[in-house]
Amino acid sequence: MSENIREIPYNYTSYSDREIVIRFLGEDAWDDMNVLRTQRRTGRSARMLFEILGDLWVVERNVFLRNDLLHNQKRRQQMFRRHYDRLARITEGASDNPRAQKMAACTSRMLEDFYGWFDNEPARRKKARKAFAKHTHPNNVHFDAYTLAHHATDATDWRHHAPFCVVTPNSAEELPGLIRATAELELVVIPRGGGTGLCGGSVPLSNNAVIINVEKLDQISPISTADIGNKGEVATITAGAGAVTGKVMEASQPHVFATDPTSLWACTIGGNVASNAGGKHAVIWGTCVDNLLSWKMVTPQGNWLEVERINHNMGKVHDEASVEFRLTHTDSISGHKISEEKLVIAGNMFRKEGLGKDVTRKAMGGLPGVQKEGTDGFVVEATFVLHRAFDVTRTVCCEFFGQELSDATKAMVKIKHHVDALEGAHLEGLEHFDEKYVKAIEYISKSPRREAPRVVLLIDVSGDDEHAVGKACADICRITSHGNGEGFVATSEADRKRFWGDRGRMAAIAKHTRAFKMNEDVVIPLDRLSEYNDYVEHLNIDNSILNKKDAIEAISAYLADARTRISGNRLETSDLNLEDDPYLTEKLDHCITLLSETREKWCRLLKGMDEPAWEVAHFLEGIKYKRSEPLFRVIQRSALRISYREEVEKPLCDMLRGHDLLIEGVKKAHKKALSSRIVVATHMHAGDGNVHTNIPVNSNDYSMMKKAHRVVEKVMAKAVELGGVISGEHGIGITKLEYMDKGLLQETADYLKRVDPDHLFNRGKLMPDTDLSLSYTPSFNLLEMESMILEAADLSDLSEAISPCLRCGKCKPVCNTHFPRANMLYSPRNKIQASGAMIEAFLYESQTGSGISFEQFEGMQDIADHCTICHKCESPCPVNIDFGEVTEKMRALLKDKGQARFNLGSKLSLLFLTLQNPNAVRFMREAVIRWGYAGHRMLNRLGKMGGLVKAEPAASRNLEGVQAQVINFIERPLPALKAGTARQKLGIESSDKNMIPVLRDPNKSNGRAVFYFPGCGSERLFSEVGLATQAMLFDLGVNVVLPPSYLCCGYPSTASGDHERGDQISYDNRVLFHRIRNALSYLDFEAVIVSCGTCYDQLTKYELEQVFPDAPLIDIHEYLMEQGVKSESVTGAEYMYHVPCHSPLKRHGTKAAIEMLLGEDAVKSEDCCGEAGTLAVAQPAIAGKIRMRKEEQMQLAKAQLPGEGEQKILTSCPSCLQGLSRLEGVTGVEADYIVVELVKHLHGEEWQKEFIQKVKNGGIERVLM
């Protein structure tokens, strides 16, 4: 086999050529290929076959390319001619070679199958859509590339096949029919929730899988009580399979919902049940199965099955001698009961004895649904018992230092046993992470020590007795100190949340390997954790030495090559500086000798790792050690350091001083070798011994992947050897199947054969004979190796921005365009997964010469449209990806390529916002904006009369195409705009760009001044906002300096993708601000004021501190708060508030501003209003879906108000004011600006008229620049 394992083109995956050939042609073909490629005559044929395979492999795995070829016959015919031309040449060259003839025949059959798919697929899709449409809306059946792409994998990024289609049912009642239809079509069902699985459980293993996404089934019932048997009545909660776990936890308060995995804000209840999820609270209340009271399923036969726990013990199932369940089967068509049976399972069937977690016993005594990973039916709803929250909870953070890692492990186990034995105190959470994670998440130590901790523990101690809890925390700190550590106790909720915040960023460990890692979660008996940690540390030391050895070998080869080139021609020696150093040959000989001796030493240390240290005493001079102490212990406690820097790099650099190119070559060789180093990092749910063992891997590095796989094998074997199991909560899926106990696997297979004999559900999973060797993962590293092509296609920045994504889904709950009930699954994670495939499609089409397909640009436009650029996704992301910035890059790319979709409404809006000429602004505002808004209100009335606009929001009616755009556009009427801009009303509108208007009260003003940047919305559109801001500043007696003319901050242009225009606006504004400051140097500027969030965000990039020193950028509301402005408590008014996506209230927040300025409490209304700048006019169907969720949230907030007076919703963004005003008709809640509401309370309803009069009566100073 060639040393180059990737000669097949367009292969940006973890596959080598071998796997590709086997996937398409079989194992025998690979053997034939290796013979043919070495022969002179047939080697060319082998290369042509590789070209064909490259095309087929990229098209098979990339649904954007595949769908494009399916819809574009011309492109398909071009590929067809290219392939059959190569086949003809291969056949011609194989005329007298039986092996080559065999390969040609195999290639012919392969191409026949490949093109046969395109011939048959339209009919298959049509048939499936028709069958599924009998049970759900046709728009819930998805064959589009975007949806198929992000359903092809889960959080692992392992893949096997893309799904045939994705179905998103509206309700659980649709599922039985869909299951039966899938069976009739001879397809496979794969249930899927949040897609956060860490074992590939929902990854399709064939090309006939129908993934049914249940995120729409997100209903959460109110808390209710239920009689559970001996324990009497307890609180319970019921949630649909698609309900996000974090939201169920919120709805459960003040009780405790105990199933709380780290992915709780992305995962769903159905997945929690199917995987038997655990989490922080598992240490005290167990995993999902321990907390389930009942659950409802759809069986493979398409009927209902309800499972009920009898006599729940409110504790862990394995503590019971036996556990009873009632299983009730019901016909889904007639509703008649089919059967009822009682299932009794011994408590020890659930977990291996002595372990707190164990999800390897899949059969679980025949209990349906739980822990089955979607292989025996479809969980649609579950009811959980809730636990009473303790009165007191404290969080202890323990940081361990020094070299004896075993001290931390021993202390951790001692803490667990100690607190378990205490009265009145309980461990509610006990989490651990090691020094690899300390570094990866950039953990900030709480200790004053100069070194970083090597181990960190996070512990929740709870109870009803504050004294008992406090004593337990003190004991924990004492035990920690004995293990060379320090303990820190958090008592306030804010401090506790901050302590636990680090735990949510563990996924960042894989950032440096482009977000790919092997993620294992073994369970180890507590008393043997120290042995396991030592074993992991042993593996890390072994792999570190092996990596250093690889580096030495690479450097030796590099220097040996340089040594041989010394006697070569001038071109060969140009980088060796021979004329300057005639002794270079001798120096290189010394370097190579040093490397050889160091390699020999390190190999001896590696070989003697488990031997007594005295056997390598000559390497341990000056080091103290016990005679019986193994060498491993000496290295583990850092008494002996094996240092590449000290032993290799420093002496080499000394010997090669003056030869910078050689030194650079040495460093490059080391860096390349270092990138392949295997590192094993651990964090754990320490209370139940569940150790997450992660190995970040570069998926493009075939050798590294193989090494990591061998390390995983060792880890799994060690876990079992220590009396543990291979998984505690992640599940088995495709990543752990080969390590499963064969007896347990056969037991599971027997169970599945009984309940699902046709293997309809998740076929191939949890089966002993499943071949998973052809699973693969895409590689951003390989994509980026095509840097020249990426740069030529302007894709480099885009690829680099999204490549660190960890697929954890933590961005989903904050994303405005992820709203499953409206068929909108555009979370940043999903968009990034699709974008990766799209970049690959761009790259492929750029190389084939056929040009980038219009359909690929359409796909990118679709993703770019589904973003409000709110930037909220950056905060929860462990690797700080801001998809708002990614969207700006996409829009800029589309514009540069001339592929940006033209939209008249968007163009007119941007034109209006960026105009500066007063006459043009006045004309646009009156003729286009005001009359356009009036026309829109008329269309809304006509739509209601014609039945297009209904009580049910258009977003929930499954509309599509032009109909969806039109109805969503007219559904909510635009507000009536008042005549005139703020400048017009004040009489300061001027065409002279050198005239600075300054507003000041002659009776109050002095040298104090503020610069007010009104922006577009507060000045041109909603003039009352700009006027109210200026009125309040005027009343304070400060000089209010305004720009000479209408200005835009530049954000609208930048957000639309026109970076050049946005940058030019920003530059021009900065120049203007400098001129203003110089002209008014006699004024003491104390602040730069804005009344718009996007203006605030854009102005932060202006480096205003250089223009207006000591004048911070601040929102008008927070400036007024700092000036002590407030009104008396407003009687009769009830407020809710809306926080804009770009909130300008950065210091105190909206709620605090309302409470201080208006003297009233306010209820928060969550989510985006849907206006999002020009989104509502450019993409009304998308905006309508976002708006529908906002309407729901406003009704929820409204229900929290007393309902006794006038109700208003206040905001601080002009665009949001417009969006909220459009909802007044359906919510009955008036929208207004906080500062406008304030000025009304302080100066009455006639405030505007009075203010304008004051300004016109000597309140304006005009300064010429």
The answer to whether position 345 is within a domain reads yes
Q: Please tell me whether residues 583 and 644 are part of one structural domain.
A: yes
Average pLDDT over residues 733-745: 95
Percent of the chain whose predicted confidence (pLDDT) is above 90? 78
Q: How far apart, in whole angstroms, are the C-alpha atoms of residue 562 and residue 665?
A: 10
Q: Which residue has the tokens 């493979």?
A: 300
pLDDT tens digits for range 526-562: 999 999 999 999 999 999 999 999 999 999 999 998 8
| pTM, entire model | 0.93
Of 789, 698, 686, 770, which Cα lies nearest the Cα of 732?
A: 770
Q: Please tell me whether residues 1106 and 1254 are part of one structural domain.
A: yes
Q: How far apart, in whole angstroms, are the C-alpha atoms of residue 967 and residue 958?
A: 12
The answer to whether position 914 is within a domain reads no
Q: How far apart, in whole angstroms, are the C-alpha atoms of residue 1108 and residue 1099?
A: 12
612: three-class secondary structure by DSSP? strand
Indicate the range of 198-212, 356-370, 840-854 predicted with least confidence: 840-854
The answer to whether position 81 is within a domain reads yes
Average pLDDT over residues 115-136: 97
Both tokens of residue 90? 């291969």
Q: How confident is the model at residue 129 (pLDDT cuts 50, 70, 90)?
A: very high
Q: Please tell me whether residues 553 and 635 are part of one structural domain.
A: yes
Looking at 662, 691, 722, the residue that finishes a domain is 722
Q: Please tell me whether residues 697 and 587 are part of one structural domain.
A: yes
Instruction: Using DSSP bridges, classify how beta strands 1039-1041 and 1084-1090 pair: parallel, antiparallel or unpaired.
Output: unpaired
Consecutive H or E run containing 662: helix 660-674
Q: How far apart, in whole angstroms, are the C-alpha atoms of residue 649 and residue 647?
A: 7
Of 550, 549, 563, 566, which Cα lies nearest the Cα of 591?
A: 563
Task: Tell me phi and psi for residue 574, to 5 degrees.
Answer: -60, -25
Higher per-residue pLDDT: 1129 or 403: 403
pLDDT > 60? residue 1093: yes
CB 232 within 8 A of CB 796: no
CATH of the domain at 358: 3.30.465.10
CB 216 within 8 A of CB 820: yes
The answer to whether position 429 is within a domain reads no
pLDDT tens digits for range 1221-1233: 999 999 999 999 9
The answer to whether position 82 is within a domain reads yes
Higher per-residue pLDDT: 567 or 106: 106
Q: How far apart, in whole angstroms, are the C-alpha atoms of residue 757 and residue 760?
A: 8
Consecutive H or E run containing 88: helix 73-93
Q: Please tell me whether residues 542 and 651 are part of one structural domain.
A: yes
The answer to whether position 219 is within a domain reads no
**Average pLDDT, whole number, for the chain?**
92
Residue 1081, Ramachandran bin (φ over 0: left; ψ between -120 and 50: alpha; else beta):
alpha
pLDDT number for residue 571:
54
Written as one letter, the residue type at 442 is: E
The answer to whether position 602 is within a domain reads yes
Indicate the range of 91-105, 113-127, 472-486, 605-619 predicted with least confidence: 91-105
CB 1218 within 8 A of CB 975: yes
Q: Please tell me whether residues 1149 and 1103 are part of one structural domain.
A: no
Q: How far apart, in whole angstroms, are the C-alpha atoms of residue 230 and residue 226?
A: 12
Q: Please tell me whether residues 1110 and 1144 are part of one structural domain.
A: no
pLDDT number for residue 901:
86
Of 240, 303, 299, 241, which Cα lies nearest the Cα of 270?
A: 241
Angstrom CA distances, 581 to 649, 655, 658, stand at: 20, 12, 9
Domains identified in the chain, total number:
5
Average pLDDT over residues 133-145: 97
Q: Please tell me whether residues 1007 and 1109 are part of one structural domain.
A: yes
Q: Please tell me whether residues 535 and 587 are part of one structural domain.
A: yes
pLDDT number for residue 785:
72
pLDDT tens digits for range 153-189: 999 999 999 999 999 999 999 999 999 999 999 999 9
- What string of DSSP letters covers 1156-1189? HHH---EEE--S--S-TTTHHHH-HHHHHHHHHH
pLDDT number for residue 1180:
95
Indicate the range of 623-637, 775-789, 836-850, 1176-1190 predicted with least confidence: 775-789
Task: Tell me phi and psi for residue 908, to 5 degrees.
Answer: -65, -40
Average pLDDT over residues 841-869: 89
Quote the domain boundaries for residue 349.
224-385
Looking at 722, 739, 763, the residue that finishes a domain is 722
Q: Please tell me whether residues 635 and 550 are part of one structural domain.
A: yes
Angstrom CA distances, 904 to 863, 914, 1177, stand at: 20, 15, 9
Give the chain's length: 1265
Q: How confident is the model at residue 1 (pLDDT cuts 50, 70, 90)?
A: very low
Average pLDDT over residues 913-919: 90
Strand ranges in 485-614 using DSSP code E only, listed in sequence order: 485-490, 517-523
pLDDT > 90? residue 1160: no
HSE-up of 130 (CA within 13 Å, CB side)?
A: 8
pLDDT number for residue 423:
93
Q: What is the largest CA-CA distance in the chain?
A: 106
pLDDT > 80? residue 575: no
Average pLDDT over residues 1013-1027: 93
The answer to whether position 784 is within a domain reads no
pLDDT > 60? residue 513: no
Q: How confident is the model at residue 402 (pLDDT cuts 50, 70, 90)?
A: confident
Distance of CA 947 to the CA centre of its chain: 41
Q: Is the dihedral of CA 881, 885, 891, 892 positive or negative?
A: negative
Residue 1173, Ramachandran bin (φ over 0: left; ψ between -120 and 50: alpha; else beta):
left
Q: How far apart, in whole angstroms, are the C-alpha atoms of residue 1234 and residue 1224?
A: 17
pLDDT tens digits for range 436-480: 888 888 899 999 998 999 999 999 999 999 999 999 999 999 999
pLDDT > 50? residue 2: no
pLDDT tens digits for range 216-230: 999 999 999 999 999
Q: Which residue has the tokens 């992640």?
A: 730
Indicate the range of 500-514, 681-695, 863-877, 1076-1090 predicted with least confidence: 500-514
Q: How far apart, in whole angstroms, are the C-alpha atoms of residue 1108 and residue 1110?
A: 6
pLDDT tens digits for range 793-843: 678 889 889 998 999 999 999 999 999 999 999 999 999 999 999 999 998
Looking at 355, 385, 415, the residue that finishes a domain is 385
Q: Please tell me whether residues 350 and 306 are part of one structural domain.
A: yes
